[in-house]
Amino acid sequence: MSADGPSVGHRATAPGSIRQAQQDPAWVRWGLISIAITVVVILVVIPVINIFVSALSEGFGVYCDNLFADSDTRDSIMLTLTVVPIALVANLIFGLAAAWAIARFEFPGRTLLTALIDLPFSVSPVVAGLMFVLIFGLQGYLGPFLRRDGYAVMPYLTSLPAVVVFIVTFFLLQPRREKERRGPWKHPKLALLAGSAFVFGLFCFGQQYFEVWPRNQSLKIIFATPGLVLATAFVTFPFVARELIPVMEAVGPDEELAAVSLGANGWQMFWTVTVPNIRWGLVYGIILCNARAVGEFGAVYVVSGHIAGQTDTMPLRIEKLFQEYNLPGSFAVASVLTLLAIFTLIAKIKLERKVPSADDHPAMRNAPEAGK
Amino acid sequence: MSIVIQGLSKTFGNFAALDNVSLEVPDGALLALLGPSGSGKTTLLRVIAGLEVADSGAVLHEGEDITDYSARDRKVGFVFQHYALFRHMTVAENIGYGLKVRRTPGAKIRERVDELLKLIRLEGLQTRYPGQLSGGQRQRVALARALAAQPKVLLLDEPFGALDAKVRQELRQWLRRLHEDIHVTSIFVTHDQEEAFEVADRVVVMNQGRIEQVGKPDEIYDHPATPFVYQFLGHVNHFHGRIQNGRLRLGDAEFPLSSREAAQDAPAIGYVRPHEIKVRAEANGAPSIVAIIKHMNTAGPLVHLELERADDGGRFAVELTREESRQIPLQTGARVFVELRNVRVFAEDNQALNPNLQAREETP
């Protein structure tokens, strides 16, 4: 026991000295904490509360009137609700495709693609908006064409999805067994090529023949909803892909290969294995993308043209109401955006606890012994 | 023949993973693909499974050419090295996946899953998730999942690679017994020769994308076809000398060869395993070389000696049983007489003995 004495005493003193070495004096700690809290209160908490206070300053009835009685404000909310989902779906599809390509395949230009995905983060939104004006504006590069007969491209554009639907159907109807594949499935490449050409031609010709689209009219992209969608999609373009690439890389291709070797087709593999594995990354990406798309101002400002009731999204409407000295109205719309932001923040925090959990990391779940 | 492989080649960039590999796997065999990392054994397994596409060559399954079939049409069960269990599905859902995607009725799936759970002795764990299982349990679930749709061939990629030594030992015996019960043609990949010899009834030794030797475990161990096989299966000593009159001449001593293919009067390398060397304290007239004990390790059932040849300073290792070691006084620095048994000489070494080869073989 006597031999234990000094060592126990030594152990008792050691943490004390370590604590002193690691921790700063109380005044430093409290100083830093109070500075941080003061800054957050002044810069974040007070302004956010002020938005709600100002919005509701004339009572809840006026607040509701400000939001829904003013037809221009109502239209701006509707426009945001139209533009954001379209941009979101476009970016979701693109993000999945890009993440899949980057995480699963080796191809020339892979690094370049990874870098280009981040481009919208580094380009100023105003520059992005201007870029679209220069290309799609009626005075821009494509202007002469768009002015003359812009709708002429529509049959071709709408035929492309039809071709995609045809290709997907072809593979879905393909017989499971190699031996049962007869007719078009015997020569899949030829059948796909011929079939796609036929479907494309049929749709194009059909639309032109029945004159679905107006002729000799200019197609407005800039200062119209398509321009808003383009600008919003461009600015929010990296979110989904950037969330998915690390998740897909961490999960690895093994489970997907296992599904295929167990007899799943591509569709089954995607929905039963890939999507469940990346679902939290996907939801997280969508939430971030949505938050940014709803609040986007700069790029949208350039391409919108400020036609009240037609091309004003919610952030643009806030600015316009503010310029018109309609502060309660401006704050009412702002409060809706703020509520959305707070909701996003809560969802993000909830999900962040989920994303890095063992659920999505194969290294932790499936092969803890591998490291030995 | 269950699986016939004809002239498979596959390159990744400049690296030839498979170089004109041909192999026949009999029905019901339990075959091991054995080789060091980078020898192409996993690539071969993945080509058979359809997870990788070979540049040239063909894979036949019961006479049918399945080279162009996709993985899902091959009726092959594949067990991944790290199991690749679906982590968001329960054990039962994992095992039933192969049946579910083939649109088997639910009652049949449940029946088959229960049957397999019994086979892998994990009854009662069907509602667990893979994350709640031990490594050995996961391995067995992966196996059951691969077996669920009654594959014609079972392929296992380093099935015990990620497990600790004790579990590995248990699972080896279990896999052996399982194969005796269900008798599905199985191929597994391993870099561990002990594992290959213990589990498999046929072993294929691979090196640098080529097959070095195919045979029963004892055939391969007793009659290695190439220097590579000889060296890969356990420790080996090299003795540089000359072939004369069908014997290996080292200094003044001549040792008989266990193989007869050796050329006459040429430089040669004799291969001798550490346990095939006899050590004596005194010369007794039998051919022997003189060596000095440099190091000895007496822990364990065998006594390990490191000796240095008195004539050219070459080092070699010897293993003696405890009993043998007691008959001679052994101590570091002592001079002993060494007799070699079962000396093997490989024809290709005699022709070549090129610097390249020698450099490779100097490493112990």
Q: How many domains does chain B have?
A: 2
Beta bridge pairs of residue B205: B34, B213
B244 & B220 share domain: no
Residue B281: CATH number of its domain: 2.40.50.100
How crowded is residue B313: how many other Cβ atoms within 10 Å of its Cβ?
Answer: 8
Q: Which of A262, A272, A370 sits opposite B162 (nearest CB)?
A: A370
B346 & B248 share domain: yes
* Residues on chain B touching A250 (C-beta within 8 angstroms): none
Q: Which residue of B has its CA nearest to A254?
A: B84
Report the residue of B51, B64, B88, B133 to disrupt the A interface, i.e. the one with the largest count of A CBs within 10 Å: B88
Q: Which of A257, A262, A366 sits opposite B87 (nearest CB)?
A: A366
Per-residue DSSP letter, A357: S
The whole-number average pLDDT for the span B193-217 is 92
Closest chain A C-alpha to B44 CA, distance in angstroms: 15
* Residues on chain A touching B72 (C-beta within 8 angstroms): 176, 260-265
Closest chain B C-alpha to A260 CA, distance in angstroms: 5
Residue B332 confidence (pLDDT) above 90: no
B21 & B47 share domain: yes
Q: How far apart are CA A170 and CA A198, in angstroms?
A: 14
Residue type present at position A370: A
For the ranges A177-181, B126-130, B220-224, which has the lowest average pLDDT? Answer: A177-181
- The domain boundary, picked from B160, B192, B226, lies at B226
Q: How far apart are CA A145 and CA A184, in angstroms?
A: 40
Q: Which residue of A has its CA nearest to B73?
A: A177
B163 & B296 share domain: no
Sign of CA dihedral A255, A260, A264, A267: positive
B155 & B282 share domain: no
* Residues on chain B touching A271 (C-beta within 8 angstroms): none
Are B93 and B54 spatial neighbours (Cβ–Cβ below 8 Å)? no
Q: Which of residues 22-51 of B touch A (CB under 8 A)?
A: 49-51
Closest chain B C-alpha to A290 CA, distance in angstroms: 27
Token pair 């036609």 is at which residue? A307
Q: Which of B51, B69, B98 sits opposite A257 (nearest CB)?
A: B51
Are A355 and A280 spatial neighbours (Cβ–Cβ below 8 Å)? yes
Q: Which of A177, A255, A364 sits opposite B73 (nearest CB)?
A: A177
Closest chain B C-alpha to A248 CA, distance in angstroms: 14
pLDDT per position as a tens digit, A277-327: 998 889 889 988 999 999 899 999 999 888 888 889 999 999 999 999 988
Q: Which residue of B has its CA nearest to A278?
A: B88
pLDDT score, position A366: 40
Chain A and chain B share a number of CB contacts under 8 A equal to 99
pLDDT per position as a tens digit, B284-325: 878 888 888 888 888 888 888 899 988 888 888 998 888 888
CATH of A61-137+221-371, one of 3.40.50.450, 1.10.3720.10, 1.20.120.550, 3.10.180.10: 1.10.3720.10
Q: Which domain holds residue B301?
A: 235-362
pLDDT score, position B116: 92
Interface of A with B (CB under 8 A): 176-178, 254-255, 257-265, 268, 272-273, 276-277, 358-359, 362, 364-370, 372
Average pLDDT, chain A: 83
How crowded is residue A176: how many other Cβ atoms within 10 Å of its Cβ?
Answer: 14
Token pair 């490493």 is at which residue? B363
Residue type present at position A358: A
B146 & B174 share domain: yes
Residues of chain A with pLDDT under 50: 1-13, 356-372
Q: Given an 8 Å threshold on Cβ–Cβ distance, is B162 in contact with A367?
A: yes
DSSP string, A123-141: S-HHHHHHHHHHHHSTTST
Hey, where are the domains in chain A?
61-137+221-371, 146-218
- The domain boundary, picked from B164, B196, B226, lies at B226
B21 & B152 share domain: yes
B212 & B243 share domain: no
- The domain boundary, picked from B205, B226, B247, lies at B226
Residue B54: CATH number of its domain: 3.40.50.300
B159 & B263 share domain: no
pLDDT per position as a tens digit, B238-285: 888 888 777 888 877 888 887 665 556 778 888 888 888 888 888 787
Main-chain dihedrals φ then ψ at residue A157, nearest 5 degrees = -65, -45
Per-residue DSSP letter, A219: P
How crowded is residue B256: how many other Cβ atoms within 10 Å of its Cβ?
Answer: 12
B24 & B133 share domain: yes
Residue B351 confidence (pLDDT) above 80: no
DSSP H/E element including B177: helix B165-182
